[in-house]
Structure 1
Amino acid sequence: MTQRTERIQQLAYQIWESEGRPSHQEHRHWEMATKLYEAEQQPGAAPAETPVAAPKKTRATKPKAATLAEQAVEKVKEAVKPKSAKSKVEKPPVEKLATEKKPRASRAKTPKV
């Protein structure tokens, strides 16, 4: 292998690693590495640093369950809160009528044949 090919291979490998080792990107990484190598070889150009991938964006996180529960409690308090002193009419609690349940009929067992 020539010195050029070895350097391009090193650069392509560094690019591949910096991007999190994605599959099926060899051609793109090789092209990027070739461009970096050519930039290194231009007279008066500073040596190229190792390419660094941009930091990953943080995902927006969901609010924690405790926060959601607190918000729900506040909404309920607002809904239940009386709007004025005159509207403090309390409703009697609703009582369920006790109804007798019928006894459950037993199933007749059939002999197995």
Structure 2
Amino acid sequence: MSTADQWHVAWAAALDRLEADVDSAEALLNDEHMLRELPKFDPWNPPQGLGPLPIDLRPRADAVLRRQLEVASKVAAAMTSAAMHTLVLGKMSGDAKDPARPSYVDVAL
């Protein structure tokens, strides 16, 4: 296998790994994680000596980047939503510091 072929194969493998990571994140956002165990956290690190991206893999790399950015935005929104839900639930549940909260019911309706 020529050096150019090895270089291309190395980049294709790197993109395969990035796509798998994005697939896992998308599955978590789509609640598919409830059907299986959560994926093990394994951060991606670029392989040593990878060199510049082959030009024919540029469209694939751009697509992976777009998906990563979309997933990152959705994960941030999901985290914000979860934090807001936690805050609301905390206000609705009993508070040990102030157990006697007044409650009002409008019986005129």
TM-score range relative to shorter protein? 0.3 to 0.5
Instruction: Determine which structure has the larger helix proportion and give its number.
Output: 2
Larger relative contact order, structure 1 or 2 (CA cutoff 8 Å, min sep 6): 2
Whichever of the two has the greater Rg, that structure is: 1
